[in-house]
C-alpha cells in the first residue's frame, strides 16, 4: 500500500481543482501530480531503493509538498528536518536516523561533497542530493513495516527517538480524524504551521479529499493577512499564537472569516482568553485539538460550546483512553490506544508491541475526564511542581500568565529548594521587544486567579524560549 497512490486515486475527479496556492501562484491537482512525477524520475536516476531513508531540508511551501510526495511515491521514507535546525541538530538527525540520502536546498546547507543540483519546476529552487552511508542493523524488520515517515522527535527532555509511521497507519489516522474534520473538495484551508512537524495527518488528509490549501508565509500577522485575502477560507488549521494574532491585528477584518466553518488549534494548549476574544471578533469557537506524534489526532473539541473551551473534547470514535494513578481531582497519567498508532521507535530500535503496555500508549501527559466525557490536560508528568507536598500543574499557571496583557508566551518550571522541595518560577516572552513587563501587575493578576502557593515566586522576561525541532518548549531552558 502507498498513500500517494491512494491520494492520486481519490482525487482523480478533482484534477482541475486548485490543490495548492500561495500569494503569487496556484497549482491544480493535475499540475501537482505532474510535478511529483517529474521529481520521481529525477530521484529514480539516483537509483534510490525502496525504504531508503531520505532526510529533507527544504523551504516550506509548494516545493516541500512536491518533494515529500515524490519520496513517498518511490516507497522511500521521508525524514523531515525542521527549517530552523542548527548544523548540530542536522547532524544528529543524519547520524541517529541512519540517513541514506540527504536532499537539501542549496542555500540552507553547505556541503563539501560535489553533487549535481536539480530544480523543481514550480519555484525553481535548486536542490542537492547527497549520498550517505546510513546502515540499520534491523533493516529487514524496518522494511517489513512499510514505513513512510520517520518523525525525528528530540522530545521536550532532549531524548531522541524517531517515530516510524507506515503508509497503513497514515491511512488509518486520516480516516479517523476526518470523522470530525469532515474535509471535502469544497474546503479552502488556511495553512500556517510548520510542514516538518504537521504533515502526516492533516496535509495528506486535505489532499485525499481534493481540498485547496492556501499556504501562508510564516510571518505573523502578515502571512495570515495575505493568506486570508487569497480566497474565501472555510477551514483554519493553526496554533494558538496565530489565533492570538488574528484577534489583535487591526488588519484582519472579522468579515474575512465569514465562510470559516471550523478553526482548529493545535501544537500547544489554547489560551482561554484568546479563544474568548476570537469568538467575540469572528463569531466562531476555536476547536482545541490534542495531537500526538505516536498516535495521531485522537481529540478534537468540535462542540462549539464555550463551557468546554479549555477541553480538547471527547475522544474520537475508534480510540480508547484511561487515566492511571488519579489524584483526588481525577487528574492522572493519560494512556491511549486506537487506529494509526506509530509502528516503531527508530533509535534505539523498538517495535510498537515492545513499547505498548497491553496495547496502551503512555502519553506522558496529565489529564482528567469530566462527567461529560471531555478531556482536560494539565501538562506533562515531568512538569508537575512539588511545593511543600502540594502539586502545582505548570500548564494551569502558564494559561493564567498568557492571559495577561502583552504576554505572548510563558514557561513555568520548578526550581529545587532545600526547605520547600520546589518553588514555581516563570519565564515570560512579551508580544514586542519594545514592551516592558509589569511584574507587580502580573503578580497581582495571578493572586486574583490562583491559589497563593501556585503563583510564581520569580518572573524573568526573556526574548524567546528554547524549542525542540518539533516546536515544543524544552523543559531544560
Is the omega angle on the peptide bond into residue 215 within 30 degrees of 0, that is, cis?
no
User: How much is the pLDDT for 157?
Assistant: 42
Grid cell locating 450: 490562583
Q: Which residues contact 26 (CB under 8 A, 6 or more apart)?
A: 18, 20
Task: Say if strands 407-417 and 421-430 run parallel, antiparallel, or are unpaired.
Answer: antiparallel
Task: Give the H or E element holding residue 201.
Answer: none
Nearest Cα residue to 408 out of 265, 268, 241: 241
Contact 149, 78 (CB under 8 A): yes
CA dist 202 and 177 (Å) reads 9
Q: Residue 256: how many CB atoms within 10 A of its CB? A: 17
* CATH of region 3-11+25-166: 3.40.50.980
Cβ neighbours for 447, distance < 8 A, ≥ 6 positions apart: 455
- Dihedral sign for Cα 253, 276, 334, 313, please: negative
Q: What is the pLDDT of residue 226?
A: 86
Question: 384 by DSSP, 3-state: which?
Answer: strand
Residue with cell 500548564: 395
Distance, CA of 387 to CA of 309 (rounded, Å): 28
ω into residue 424 within 30 of 0, thus cis?
A: no
Domain ranges of the chain: 3-11+25-166, 168-338+353-381, 388-461
Instruction: Give the pLDDT confidence score for residue 119 in this predicted structure.
Output: 67
Say if residues 36 and 4 touch (Cβ distance below 8 Å).
yes
What CATH class does 168-338+353-381 carry? Answer: alpha beta
Are the beta carbons of 394 and 426 closer than 8 angstroms? no
The count of other CB atoms within 10 Å of the CB of residue 101 is: 22
**Integer angstrom CA distances of residue 358 from 252, 322, 352, 355, 365:** 49, 13, 11, 9, 18
In 1-73, the DSSP E strands lie at 18-21, 26-28, 53-57
Report CA-CA distances (Å) from 110 to 49, 91, 204, 323.
Answer: 25, 12, 30, 48
Q: pTM, whole model, 2 decimals? A: 0.87
Relative to beta strand 18-21, strand 212-215 is: parallel
3-state secondary structure 285-345: CCEEEEEECCCEEEEECCCCCHHHCCCCECECCCCEEEEECCCCCCCEEEEEECCCCCCEE
Domain 388-461 fold is GMP Synthetase; Chain A, domain 3 (3.30.300)
Cell of 21: 496556492
pLDDT at residue 172, as a whole number: 98
Q: Which residue has the cell 521521508?
A: 78
Residue 432's pLDDT is what? 84
Decide if 3-11+25-166 and 388-461 have a common fold: no
Closest CA to 105 of 122, 121, 127, 123: 127
Per-residue confidence in pLDDT tens, the chain, 477 aa: 999 999 999 999 999 999 999 888 899 999 999 999 999 998 888 788 899 999 999 988 999 999 999 999 999 999 999 887 888 888 889 999 999 999 998 888 877 666 666 666 566 678 888 888 888 888 999 999 999 999 987 544 446 589 999 999 999 999 999 999 999 999 999 999 989 888 999 999 999 999 999 998 767 778 888 888 888 999 999 988 899 889 988 889 999 999 999 999 998 888 888 999 999 999 999 999 999 999 999 999 999 999 999 999 999 999 999 999 999 999 999 999 999 999 999 998 999 999 999 999 999 999 999 999 999 998 888 888 989 888 899 989 999 999 999 999 999 999 998 878 899 999 999 988 888 999 999 999 999 999 899 999 999 999 998 876 666 777 766
Please give the Cα distance from 374 to 372 (Å, whole number).
6
Interatomic CA distance for residues 57 and 59, integer angstroms: 7
Amino acid at each position: 500500500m502507498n498513500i500517494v497512490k491512494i491520494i492520486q486515486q481519490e482525487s482523480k475527479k478533482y484534477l482541475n481543482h486548485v490543490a495548492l496556492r500561495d500569494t503569487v501562484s496556484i497549482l491544480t491537482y493535475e499540475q501537482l501530480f505532474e510535478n511529483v512525477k517529474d521529481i520521481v524520475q529525477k530521484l529514480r536516476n539516483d537509483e534510490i531503493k525502496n525504504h531508503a531513508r531520505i532526510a529533507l531540508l527544504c523551504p516550506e511551501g509548494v516545493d516541500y509538498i512536491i518533494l515529500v510526495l515524490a519520496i513517498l511515491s518511490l516507497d522511500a521514507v521521508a525524514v523531515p528536518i525542521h527549517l530552523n535546525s542548527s548544523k548540530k541538530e542536522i547532524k544528529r538527525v543524519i547520524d541517529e536516523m541512519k540517513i541514506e540520502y540527504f536532499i537539501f536546498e542549496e542555500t540552507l546547507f553547505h556541503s563539501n561533497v560535489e553533487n549535481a543540483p536539480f530544480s523543481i519546476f514550480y519555484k525553481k529552487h535548486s536542490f542537492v542530493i547527497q549520498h550517505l552511508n546510513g546502515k540499520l542493523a534491523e533493516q529487514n524488520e524496518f522494511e517489513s513495516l512499510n514505513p513512510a515517515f520517520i518523525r525525528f522527535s528530540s522530545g521536550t527532555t532532549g531524548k531522541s527517538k524517531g517515530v516510524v509511521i507506515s503508509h497503513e497507519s497514515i491511512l488509518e489516522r486520516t480516516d479517523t480524524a476526518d470523522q470530525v474534520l469532515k474535509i471535502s473538495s469544497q474546503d479552502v484551508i488556511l495553512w500556517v504551521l510548520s510542514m516538518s512537524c504537521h504533515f502526516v495527518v492533516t496535509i495528506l488528509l486535505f489532499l485525499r479529499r481534493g481540498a485547496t490549501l492556501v499556504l501562508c508565509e510564516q510571518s505573523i500577522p502578515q502571512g495570515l493577512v495575505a493568506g486570508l485575502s487569497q480566497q474565501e477560507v472555510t477551514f483554519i488549521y493553526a496554533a494558538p499564537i496565530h489565533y492570538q494574532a488574528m484577534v489583535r491585528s487591526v488588519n484582519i477584518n472579522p468579515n474575512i472569516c465569514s465562510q470559516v466553518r471550523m478553526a482548529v488549534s493545535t501544537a500547544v494548549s489554547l489560551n482561554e482568553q484568546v479563544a474568548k476574544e476570537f469568538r467575540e471578533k469572528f463569531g466562531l469557537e476555536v476547536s482545541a485539538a490534542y495531537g500526538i506524534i505516536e498516535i495521531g489526532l485522537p481529540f478534537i473539541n468540535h462542540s462549539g460550546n464555550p463551557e468546554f473551551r479549555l477541553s480538547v473534547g471527547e475522544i474520537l470514535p475508534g480510540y480508547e483512553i484511561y487515566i492511571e494513578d488519579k489524584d483526588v481531582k481525577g487528574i492522572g497519567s493519560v494512556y491511549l490506544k486506537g487506529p494509526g498508532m506509530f509502528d516503531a521507535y527508530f533509535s534505539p530500535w523498538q517495535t510498537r508491541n515492545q513499547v505498548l503496555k497491553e496495547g496502551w500508549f503512555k502519553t506522558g501527559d496529565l489529564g482528567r475526564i469530566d462527567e461529560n466525557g471531555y478531556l482536560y490536560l494539565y501538562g506533562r508528568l515531568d512538569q508537575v511542581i512539588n511545593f511543600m507536598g502540594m502539586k502545582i500543574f505548570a500548564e494551569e499557571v502558564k494559561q493564567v500568565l498568557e492571559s495577561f496583557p502583552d504576554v505572548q508566551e510563558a514557561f513555568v518550571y520548578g526550581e529545587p529548594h532545600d526547605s520547600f522541595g520546589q518553588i514555581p518560577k516563570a519565564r515570560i516572552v512579551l508580544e514586542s521587544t519594545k514592551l516592558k513587563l509589569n511584574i507587580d501587575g502580573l503578580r497581582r493578576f495571578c493572586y486574583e486567579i490562583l491559589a497563593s502557593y501556585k503563583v510564581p515566586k520569580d518572573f524573568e522576561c526573556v526574548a524567546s524560549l528554547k524549542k525542540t525541532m518539533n516546536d515544543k518548549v524544552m523543559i531544560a531552558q
